[in-house]
């Protein structure tokens, strides 16, 4: 199967991590040939080439402003793709017009389907409105649409009622083969730890204030335990640091910003548990990574999070710091519970591998190419 990847809309971040996971898995597959990767940003192209130097990566209008690059996708990219004569195109969030090669659109951004178009218009969110329209247009134009969770697929079907159920497919994100292999070899040292870990951004839907409220609640319930919360993730944390100061928990909360892979692995292995209070997720990678590091998960029981965590973590109502605190204390006080969740997590992550996701995507490509 000769495939082309349209990564013109992918910036460094979560979307690129997903693409790299699939590319690594496809590279190892005997039935897949990645003919070309189109990247719209120089840093995206460089990251792909650094990990997969044998791939043909072409920068598509990378030096142009976004609006001109977007126009170029509409006017020129389709004919460029057709000249290469591949069998399928995998495109992120976007259906390339004027392209005769069968396209599978990979939808990774829940926000493209979370709001009504009328709501975007009322709020004068014109850029988001335009992106929403294009993502929803793709659903009716593509040969097939892949979503990273059942929740996200259901939201898309709700927003685009004209879509065919047969063209909407769920293929979950995964972990690398190396990550899955190392999962059973790691030893979590957090059983007696007072460290609480959160992998967050300052975005409103991530609900970082609930983390700080949970920490405050724990301090009130267990004055003999010196809990410490580490929040990992880039962004402007100053408003949250001010909120921590207001709650008088600033000495027990550290906002680390970005950390590298080795530092994050060490944090996972030292932590008593991962807290994931997000109110809105299209998938939710941190719980999956935590389970691979034998770090128990306490998370919100909403949107796509239960699809990832299953029964391998403690799920509580979002926005309920007292429920999060109670779950943490259950882990602390209920003998054997933490070990049970670690074992369940190691079994759970076997359902999520990039090899499995890539194979499912390949089967879909074969289906859309059937006469």
Report the distance separating Cα 27 and Cα 33, nearest Å: 7
Strands (E), 179-245: 195-199, 228-232
- Which part of the chain has CATH 3.40.50.2000? 2-174+353-368, 179-351
Tokens representing 340 are: 């049970």
DSSP-assigned states of every residue in 108-119: --THHHHS-HHH
- pLDDT on residue 186: 66
Burial of 260 (0-12, 13-18, 19+ CB in 10 A): exposed
- pLDDT on residue 183: 76
Separation of CA 6 from chain center:
19
- What phi and psi, each to the nearest 5 degrees, are found at residue 270? -90, -20
Distances (CA, A) of 13 to 9, 17, 62, 108, 139: 12, 6, 17, 12, 24
Checking if the pLDDT of 351 tops 80, the result is yes
CATH superfamily, domain 179-351, is Glycogen Phosphorylase B; (3.40.50.2000)
For 252-291, how does the pLDDT look when each residue is reduced to its tens digit (9 = 90+)? Answer: 999 999 998 889 989 999 999 999 999 999 999 999 999 9
Separation of CA 266 from chain center:
21
- pLDDT on residue 191: 83
When pLDDT is cut at 50, 70 and 90, the band that residue 165 belongs to is low
Tokens representing 366 are: 């074969």
Q: Phi-psi category of 319—alpha, beta or left, where left has phi over 0 and alpha has psi -120 to 50?
A: left
- pLDDT on residue 130: 77
For 42-82, how does the pLDDT look when each residue is reduced to its tens digit (9 = 90+)? Answer: 999 999 999 999 999 999 999 898 889 888 988 999 999 99
For 175-200, how does the pLDDT look when each residue is reduced to its tens digit (9 = 90+)? Answer: 877 777 777 776 777 888 999 999 99
Tokens representing 130 are: 């335009």
Q: Give me the mean pLDDT over the 91-106 stretch.
A: 92
- pLDDT on residue 123: 75
Fold that domain 2-174+353-368 belongs to in CATH = Rossmann fold (3.40.50)
């Amino acid at each position: 199967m000769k495939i082309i990847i349209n990564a013109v809309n992918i910036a460094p971040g979560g979307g690129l991590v997903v693409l790299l996971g699939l590319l690594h898995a496809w590279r190892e597959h005997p039935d897949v040939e990645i003919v070309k990767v189109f990247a719209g940003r120089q840093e995206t192209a460089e990251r792909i080439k650094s990990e997969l130097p044998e791939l043909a990566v072409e920068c598509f209008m990378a030096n142009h402003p976004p609006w001109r690059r977007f126009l170029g996708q509409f006017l020129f990219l389709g004919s460029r793709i057709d000249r290469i004569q591949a069998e399928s195109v995998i495109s992120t969030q976007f259906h390339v017009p004027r392209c005769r090669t069968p396209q599978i659109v990979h939808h990774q951004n829940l926000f493209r389907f979370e709001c009504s178009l009328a709501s975007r218009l009322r709020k004068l969110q014109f850029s988001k409105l335009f992106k929403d329209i294009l993502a929803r247009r793709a659903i009716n134009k593509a040969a097939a649409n892949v979503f990273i969770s059942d929740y996200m697929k259901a939201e898309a079907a709700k927003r685009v009622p004209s879509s065919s159920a047969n063209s909407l497919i769920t293929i979950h994100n995964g972990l690398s083969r190396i990550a899955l292999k190392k999962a059973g070899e790691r030893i979590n040292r957090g059983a007696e730890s007072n460290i609480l870990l959160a992998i967050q951004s300052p975005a409103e839907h991530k609900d970082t204030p609930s983390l700080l409220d949970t920490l405050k609640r724990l301090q009130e319930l267990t004055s003999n335990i010196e809990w410490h919360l580490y929040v990992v993730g880039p962004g402007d944390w100053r408003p949250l640091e001010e909120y921590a100061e207001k709650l008088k928990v600033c000495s027990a909360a550290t906002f680390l910003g970005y950390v590298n892979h080795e530092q994050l692995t060490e944090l996972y292995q030292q932590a008593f548990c991962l807290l994931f209070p997000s109110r809105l997720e299209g998938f939710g990678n941190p719980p999956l990574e935590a389970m691979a590091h034998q770090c128990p998960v306490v998370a919100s029981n909403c949107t796509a999070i239960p699809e990832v965590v299953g029964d391998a973590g403690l799920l509580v109502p979002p926005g309920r710091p007292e429920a999060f605190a109670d779950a943490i204390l259950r882990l602390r006080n209920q003998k054997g519970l933490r070990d049970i969740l670690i074992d369940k997590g190691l079994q759970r992550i076997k359902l999520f591998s990039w090899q499995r996701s890539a194979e499912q995507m390949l089967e879909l490509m074969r289906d859309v190419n059937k006469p």
